[in-house]
Structure 1
């Protein structure tokens, strides 16, 4: 485990979860125009696979997705950006996307603490609408695009305010 020393009960729980379950999962509530999201801490440390973020879903769904990802990488499965995979969202394939390091400070505070900096990888699990429309497709609604922003490019200066 990285040389982490817990300074409070939340940090102690995070470190215990990483050791016992392979990862700790955080859920960040919706705020203003920013959708809610969940992300993992400890997967790269334990399994040499990128951490995972899921944006725009309810806590129990996004946490279930991250637990499934952790279980599958623990068993040796490898996921790559651009790859589609089933078994994360019932009835739909999902796709893995890259996450630009420019999003790390805004989204991955606990990972930055755990890894003592920005030296870790993250992938985004991207899901389609119930009609099978992906957020990058022309048929995707503005609401859906805002609910599941893609983090594969550097944030624009206006996004960093």
Structure 2
């Protein structure tokens, strides 16, 4: 594991957050057809649990979910691909942890690649249902919801 030192203010903030909170959270704004997303940096290094990504939610909610995940793994809780869990979303909704294909890393996890000095880390996607309890993979899911929360378990589509 590289012993990182900051070379600019953004790197300094990342390292300060990791020191203070156990991880750093990045929020990436929507761009063209890509919805906004948030992901963690250094959870795997600190707590031996995969990093976490959430797609399509507002910054405050995304940050709250990742902080809750960090708190829970720091306290020894474990989560795995396909597992459903409660306590991350309001309204009594469960979420489910999904896999992230390594070919998605370059487009989504630049700061993790910087921190880990390459793509040698794990990431899980926190997937959530809509307010009707429909998951993005359900036949009833509408196109807007599917585009708002794309699943990262496959390589990116060629453009």
Superposition TM-score, scaled by structure 1 size: 0.96
Residue ranges of structure 2 left out of the alignment (5+ in a row): none
Q: Using the alignment, how far apart are the partners of 2:121 and 2:28 within structure 1?
A: 20
- The CA deviation string for residues 99-157 of structure 1, in whole angstroms up to 9 with x for no partner, is 00000000000000000000000000000000000000000000000000000111222
Who is 1:151 aligned against? 152
Shift of 1:3: 1.7
Secondary structure in 2 matching 1:12? helix
Equivalent residues, number: 158
Who is 2:48 aligned against? 48
Q: Using the alignment, how far apart are the partners of 2:41 and 2:65 within structure 1?
A: 14
Residue ranges of structure 1 left out of the alignment (5+ in a row): none
Secondary structure in 1 matching 2:94? strand
- The CA deviation string for residues 48-72 of structure 1, in whole angstroms up to 9 with x for no partner, is 0000000000000011000000000
Structure 1 runs (4+) deviating above 2 angstroms are none
Secondary structure in 2 matching 1:38? strand
Secondary structure in 2 matching 1:92? coil
Who is 2:114 aligned against? 113
Q: Using the alignment, how far apart are the partners of 1:156 and 1:148 within structure 2?
A: 15
Q: Using the alignment, how far apart are the partners of 1:33 and 1:153 within structure 2?
A: 18
2:136 aligned with 1:138: no
Secondary structure in 2 matching 1:52? strand
Q: Using the alignment, how far apart are the partners of 1:2 and 1:44 within structure 2?
A: 14
Q: Using the alignment, how far apart are the partners of 1:133 and 1:10 within structure 2?
A: 38
- RMSD value over aligned CA atoms? 0.8
- The CA deviation string for residues 1-55 of structure 1, in whole angstroms up to 9 with x for no partner, is 6321211011011011112211000000011111000000010010000000000
Aligned counterparts, 1:11-160, within 5 A:
11-90=11-90, 91-158=92-159
